[in-house]
Structures are given as structure tokens and as C-alpha cells.
Amino acid sequence: MRKASFISLLLLQLICFSNPFYSQNKILTKNEIEKLVTDATENWKNNDYEKSLKKSRIALKNAIAINEYNLIARTYNLIGVNFDDLLMLDKAFPYYIKALYYINKTDNNILKSKIHNNLANIYFFEKKQYQKGIIHYKKALEYCNSTSDTSLIYLRKLNIAWAYFEIKDFKTGLPYLKYINQFKEYGDESTDGAVNMLNGVYNDHINDTVKANFYFLKAIELGKKSHENFDLSITHQKYADFLFKKKNYKKAYENILEFNRLTNEIDDLAKQKKTKLAGVNLELDEFKREVDKIETAYKNKQKLLQEEQSKHKKIFSTIVLLFLIITIFFYFFHQYTKLKQKNRIKNIQNKIHQNIINASIDGQESERKKVALFLHDTISASLSSAGMHLNVFLSQHNTVPDEIIKTKFILDETHDKVRDLSHDLLPTLLVRFGLLYALDDLCEKYSNSNLHFEYLNTISNKKRYTETFETRLYFIISELLNNIIKHSEANRAEVSLSENNNELIIEITDNGKGFDINDFNFVEGFGLNQIKARINNLNGKFDVNSKINEGTSIKISVPISS
């Protein structure tokens, strides 16, 4: 027994000295980390993003080392709001997601509310995924209610009213508007303008022109006093829509100009903030990778440590159990002959050996990119330039024909459509997070009440392949899913991915009407021969099985590019 204890102690010492956390620099205490996060927060409030991000990275590394969920969540959220302030919402989003993961392990409802609200803003105003935004706004309100913070509850309900009005669901949003109108004392100068703007939108909806006009003008007046440029810009935009419906084109145009001016001012301010990052501004992507590396490295080390500890516990438990068995065995059978004792001990030793062994065992893409860049860098720029010249023309003429104002609105709408088209040609999610994330999002986006795409993936979503490999496969799969939507009349389809012998296996099935694979015209209509040719360029295999009224199954096997 002493020998077993000595061996266990020796193994524990070896683990401790082999663990990098015992040999690296001293880990900060909880109080020291809290002070670091507080300092980083002050730096953020003072627009010193460089210092805030640097301190946040150090705080995160230490918070993860001591496994303090509250501090980890606070730090991730702080990194997110730094990027949020710089209008780099694509960078802020993953940090908010991580912050939510860790804060959900705690009972800190105040921070849970803040993180849900931050995510809701991105889903609503940036991603235009309104239902997800509303879900997070309601979660933020739910956690606020548990804290009884009346000012925060007021602000959350204002956000929810705004969200429902934005998607024209006035019936659902009206109770929230009534609440914020009733308890205005819980708000402040920064919310007064938004509240009046929402009243203007609602009265416009119920065709009370006089009240709508009054509230819009009041919102603009309050917005100018409070210097809330974002809310003020939205108010000018909503007021312009109201005036345009009332055929007051001149005033509508004036408000659109003010909306554009404020929007440009907000963008310019964000650019000025970014310049303050100095050298860090060029290393933001590296910063993200380093922060991700901190958590990944820690998790891997923790996993190895836990596996080792689990293995040692099993061995120790087995040894203790076997010691008891041996003791009981000798207690009851010590009268047996020495030969039998030796044989029984030998059997037990064999079992011990076997148990120890068992315990050990248990342990076209390039062209799409050109078109997207051409649309973004040339067409979009040209439309913007045309809009600018039109603005100059309009500003130089007191009397402006309605056709010119309408032309300006059409030009702005076309500019937005060109921008959206460039994003469709080269999805941002594919570029930033890779093929596996992009396909998951594609299936979710294509699913509706008539057709559901099930996404099955046995590969880690974080895995990345070469850019060309990912882009080609993404558009091949996207085209196949479009075929299902347009031609199959299916109500269910499935996309599955797996790896086998350095090959990526993709299977796409549907329960639609199917087709005759020997019908050349039908196959050409689906573009299957072109898809097969594109897969051949990847040295892959493409098999199609389909029967009329029985659905279609497609299997793609492609060697993984290194």
C-alpha cells in the first residue's frame, strides 16, 4: 500500500512539473485580473482602444488560467465592445458569442442582459436577422427583470418596441411603446429622441399625420440636443419616408441629405477611432488569432490534465478495490493450502494486470470574386459618385423636379442592391469562418416552412481548407441546393459532410419528385454536367442517383487540398 501511495505521489509530481502552467510566469490573482479588466474598461470609455485591447488580452489569458467564468465573460464582452465602437461588428460578434457561453455558467444576470443586448443589436442592425435579434432583446429584458433595474428595463423595452416596429409588427410592439410612454421618467436625454421617433412611426402607421409629424420634429429637436447621432440619423430617415408618402418630396429630400450627412459623420468618427489604434490597427486579425489560441491552448491542456487525472483515479480506485478483494480473500481462505493460495494470488495478479490494461485502453469561384470586387469597387463606387453629383446638382437648385428626387431614391436603392449582390457572390461568412460555417448558414438561410434543409457535419466547424478549395465547393453545393429548391418539389433535404482517408465526402439527398438521369436535356437543365466537370477539376468523384417520385441522392468525394 505504501508503495502504491508513493507511485501515485510521484505521478502527481510529474504531472505538475510537466504542466506548462507550473513553469510559466506567475498567474495573476482574481483581484489583480479584476483591476486589469476595470482599467481596460476605462481605456475603452476614453477611446484608447489600443491599451484596452492589450490589457484585455492579458486579463483573458489569466482569467482562463484560473477558470473564472465571470472574468472570462467580462473580458470577451469588453473585447467585443472595443470592436463594436470601431464599427467592426464582424470582429465583435464572435467575442460576444464566447462571452455568452461563459456568462451562462454564472448567475450574473446583469452581464447576461448586456451581452444579449449587444448580440441583438448586431443581429438586428448588421445581419438583418430580425427574429434572432428580437429573441436576444427579449432575453436581455428577461435578465433585467430579475435585477429590478428600472432604467435598464425601460431601455430594453424601448429596444424591443423599436425592433417590432422595424419589421412592421406594430400590434406586438404597441404594448412596449405604451410602457415607455408611461414611464418616461426612467429614461434620459439619450432615449427621449428615440421614444419620440417611435411615436412618430406608430402614428404614421395609423395614419395620424398631424401627430406623426409632431413626434418626428420633436425627435429631431431632442436628437440634436443629446448629440445621439445614430438615433438622429434614423429619425431623419423615417421622417423622409413619412414625407415621401405624403408627397412632400422637397422636405423628404432634405431629410435624406441630413441622414446621409450624419451617417458619413458616424463613419468618419469610426475611422478616426481606428487611426488611434496605431500599430495594433494592422494586427487586429493577429490579435483575434492570438486570443483564440489562448483559449484553445488552455482547453487542450486542461483536457490532457483531466484525462491524466481520470486515468490516475481509475488506477488508484482499481488498486484500492483489488487490495480489499485480496484482504477479504486472505481473511476467508487463509486455511487453504499454500499451493491454492499461490494459484489464487496468481489469478488475482492476472486480473489486476488485466484491469490496469483495461483502464489504460478506456482512456468558379475566382470569377465570382472578380465580379464581386468589380461590383463593390467599380459599380458601387460609380453609383456613389453619381449620387454625389446628383446631390451637388440638387443643392445648387432651389426648385427641384419630383422626377430628380425620385431618381435619387432609385439610385440609392440600386446602390444597396449592388452591395447585397456583391456579398452574395462572395459570402463574408465563407471568407472569414470557412466552408463548414458557411454551409451551416446556407442550409439555415434556404430552409423555410415548405422545405427544410438538415445539416449534418462530423467535422469540427473550426477546420479550414485552402481558400480555392472552400470557395469552389461552396458554390458547387449552393448550386445543387438551388436545384432542389427550384425543381425537386421536396419538403425535406439533407446535407452531410465527413472526412475519410484524406477525402471530403459530401452527400446531398431530397425526397422530391426525382428525374430520369438518362434524360440529357433534364440533366443539362440542372447543370449537372457542368458541376461534374468542376468536381473533376478538383480530382473528385460525382455520383447521382435519382428515381421518379422517389427523390434524388448525390455523393461527392474530393481529395482534401493541403
Q: Are the beta carbons of 379 and 419 closer than 8 angstroms? A: no
Write down the pLDDT at residue 423.
61
SS3 label, residue 531: helix
Nearest to 40 by CA among 57, 26, 25, 64: 57
Write down the pLDDT at residue 514.
87
Distance CA 124, CA 122 (A): 5
Q: Is the pLDDT of residue 332 over 80?
A: no
Q: Is the pLDDT of residue 5 over 50?
A: no
| 180 CA to centre of own chain | 30
Q: Degrees (nearest 5) of the Cα angle 450, 453, 457? A: 170
Average pLDDT over residues 199-205: 92
Backbone angles phi, psi at 96, to 5 degrees: -65, -40
pTM of the model: 0.48
Write down the pLDDT at residue 369.
66
Average pLDDT over residues 337-365: 60
Nearest to 119 by CA among 139, 108, 109, 133: 133
**Where along the chain do the CATH 3.30.565.10 domains lie?**
429-559
The neighbouring-strand residues paired with 553 are 509, 545
Integer angstrom CA distances of residue 212 from 201, 215, 386: 7, 5, 33
Write down the pLDDT at residue 116.
94
Average pLDDT over residues 310-333: 74
pLDDT digits (tens, 9 = 90+) for 25-71: 678 999 999 999 999 999 998 888 888 988 998 898 899 988 899 99
Distance CA 342, CA 429 (A): 69
Does the domain spanning 26-106 belong to CATH 3.30.70.360? no
Q: Are the beta carbons of 552 and 472 closer than 8 angstroms? A: no
Nearest to 379 by CA among 423, 426, 419, 420: 419
Q: Is the pLDDT of residue 434 over 70?
A: yes
Average pLDDT over residues 527-550: 86
Sequential DSSP letters for 409-470 = HHHHHHHHHHHHHHHHHS-HHHHHH-HHHHHHHHHHHH--SS-EEEEEE-S-TT----HHHH
Q: Is the pLDDT of residue 555 over 90?
A: yes
Q: Is the pLDDT of residue 19 over 50?
A: no
Nearest to 114 by CA among 140, 137, 133, 94: 140
Q: Is the pLDDT of residue 383 over 80?
A: no
Distance CA 451, CA 453 (A): 7
Per-residue cell: 170: 406594430
Write down the pLDDT at residue 1.
42
Most distant CA atoms of the chain, gap in Å: 120
Q: Is the pLDDT of residue 17 over 80?
A: no
Distance CA 464, CA 198 (A): 44
Write down the pLDDT at residue 274.
62
List, in order, residues 6 or more apart from 365 with CB less than 8 Å away.
468, 471, 472, 474, 475
The CATH code of domain 429-559 reads: 3.30.565.10
**Where along the chain do the CATH 1.25.40.10 domains lie?**
26-106
Taking the alpha carbons of 82, 84, 86, 89 in that order, is the dihedral positive or negative? positive
Q: Degrees (nearest 5) of the Cα angle 220, 245, 234? A: 30
Write down the pLDDT at residue 410.
81
Distance CA 142, CA 147 (A): 9
Residue type, 454: E
Distance CA 487, CA 522 (A): 10
pLDDT digits (tens, 9 = 90+) for 240-252: 999 998 899 899 8
In this prediction, residue 282 has a pLDDT band, given cuts at 50, 70 and 90, of: very low
Q: Are the beta carbons of 405 and 252 closer than 8 angstroms? A: yes
Q: What is the DSSP letter of 188?
A: -
Direct distance between the N- and C-terminal alpha carbons of the chain, in angstroms, rounded to an integer: 53
In this prediction, residue 333 has a pLDDT band, given cuts at 50, 70 and 90, of: low
Nearest to 177 by CA among 189, 132, 163: 163
Q: Are the beta carbons of 511 and 551 closer than 8 angstroms? A: yes
For the sheet containing 503-510, what is the strand order? Answer: 452-457, 492-500, 503-510, 551-559, 541-547
Integer angstrom CA distances of residue 108 from 12, 105, 113, 144, 530: 35, 9, 9, 11, 55
Mean of all residue pLDDT scores within the chain: 80
Higher pLDDT, 202 or 366: 202
Write down the pLDDT at residue 275.
65
pLDDT digits (tens, 9 = 90+) for 458-510: 998 888 888 888 888 988 998 899 889 988 889 999 999 999 889 999 999 99
Q: Is the pLDDT of residue 321 over 90?
A: no
pLDDT digits (tens, 9 = 90+) for 505-528: 999 999 998 888 777 555 565 677
Sequential DSSP letters for 325-376 = HHHHHHHHHTTS-HHHHHHHHHHHHHHHHHHHHHHHHH--HHHHHHHHHHII
Distance CA 307, CA 27 (A): 23
Distance CA 407, CA 104 (A): 50
In terms of average pLDDT, the best of 228-242, 349-363, 394-408 is 228-242
Q: Are the beta carbons of 476 and 531 closer than 8 angstroms? A: yes
Range in 176-185, 503-512, 527-536, 539-548 with the lowest mean pLDDT:
527-536
Which residue is it, cell 488560467?
65
Average pLDDT over residues 273-292: 58
Q: Which helix (H) or strand (E) holds 495?
A: strand 492-500
List, in order, residues 6 or more apart from 193 with CB less than 8 Å away.
219, 220, 222, 223, 226, 228, 231, 232, 235
Give percent of the chain with pLDDT exceeding 70.
79
Range in 180-189, 265-274, 365-374 with the lowest mean pLDDT:
365-374
Write down the pLDDT at residue 337.
75
Average pLDDT over residues 191-219: 91
Long-range contacts, stretch 332-337, CB < 8 angstroms, 24+ apart: none
Average pLDDT over residues 172-198: 88
Residue 356, judged by CB atoms within 10 A of its CB (0-12, 13-18, 19+), counts as middle
Distance CA 365, CA 243 (A): 44
Radius of gyration of the chain (CA): 31
Write down the pLDDT at residue 422.
63
In this prediction, residue 550 has a pLDDT band, given cuts at 50, 70 and 90, of: confident
